Amino acid sequence: MKFRRKSADVDPEAAAESGVPAQDAPVAPGPFDIDDLPADDDVQRVDLGAMLIAPAEGLELRLQVDEDEEAVQAVVLAGPDGAVELRAFAAPRGGDLWGEIRPRLAADYAQRGGTATEREGRFGTELVCQLTVRTQDGRTGTQASRVIGVNGARWMLRATLLGKPAQDPAAAGLWEDAIEKIVVRRGAQAMPVGAVLPLIMPPPDQLVRRPTA
């Protein structure tokens, strides 16, 4: 069964196959669009512009920065056994950008000699990927990753799990809980489909309780 963020987004065919009426299909609680954040939500989050991230015990918040452009490229939540890289993209209203790019990602892995297999996870259809890589000491090894995609209101969130949470989905609860608490701020500006939503460096020690649109 595929979980959708809103009952209005439920795929009728998927609901029919599961035997659950579309209007009664389960709804994944998050990630959230900033306009859909529940009124009683009191989770503190770090404001990074297009994404607001709740700190999680055991995970370190890191930013991947392009030093030449002085721009934040991605957010990483890292722990002793693995990490998740987070990126948000502009998407068409009511579209299924994740459904469109998932086959392209799988084809890209195949072209590089790897594999990408679909599975149903906590956030719907995701990709379990394997890629042969060369290590620093010249040996070859297998790099595993899980790519999760969530369609939102004119945005798509992509979360790439590495390490233990990619190799063992049953051990990924800490990272998946963190993904579920993310808030995406798309903004009203026009952007090409697939463009990365801009991230910013937060002021020191800034936490927000109720983010503004």
Angle at 196 between CA 206 and CA 201, to 5 degrees: 20
Of 4-13, 36-45, 62-71, the range with the highest mean pLDDT is 36-45
The pLDDT of residue 205: 61
3-class secondary structure for 43-59? CCEEECECEEECCCCCC
Determine the average pLDDT of the residues in 71-99: 94
- Does residue 15 register a pLDDT over 70? no
Contacts of 166 (CB under 8 A, 6+ apart): 82, 128, 129, 144, 145, 146, 172
Determine the average pLDDT of the residues in 102-122: 95
Determine the average pLDDT of the residues in 20-43: 74
Question: Given pLDDT bands bounded at 50, 70 and 90, which one contains residue 4?
Answer: very low
Q: Which two tokens stand for residue 55?
A: 């700190």
The pLDDT of residue 67: 76
The pLDDT of residue 125: 97
- Does residue 50 register a pLDDT over 90? yes
Cα–Cα distance between 122 and 80 in angstroms, integer? 22
The pLDDT of residue 29: 81
| Element containing residue 101 per DSSP (H, E) | helix 97-111
- Does residue 151 register a pLDDT over 80? yes
Peptide bond into 26 cis (omega under 30): no
Percent of the chain with pLDDT strictly greater than 70: 82
Distance in Å from the first CA to the final CA of the chain: 32
CATH 3.40.1000-classified regions of the chain: 31-184
Give the CATH number of domain 31-184; options: 3.40.1000, 2.60.40, 3.20.20, 3.40.50. 3.40.1000
The pLDDT of residue 139: 75
- Judge residue 127's burial from the number of C-beta atoms within 10 Å of its C-beta, 0-12 exposed, 13-18 middle, 19 or more buried: buried
The pLDDT of residue 212: 59
Question: Given pLDDT bands bounded at 50, 70 and 90, which one contains residue 38?
Answer: confident
Residue 76 · residue 84 · CB < 8 Å? yes
- Does residue 23 register a pLDDT over 70? no
Which one is predicted more confidently, 142 or 108?
Answer: 108
Cα–Cα distance between 2 and 150 in angstroms, integer? 11
Of 44-48, 60-64, 65-69, 192-196, minimum mean pLDDT range: 65-69
Determine the average pLDDT of the residues in 162-180: 95
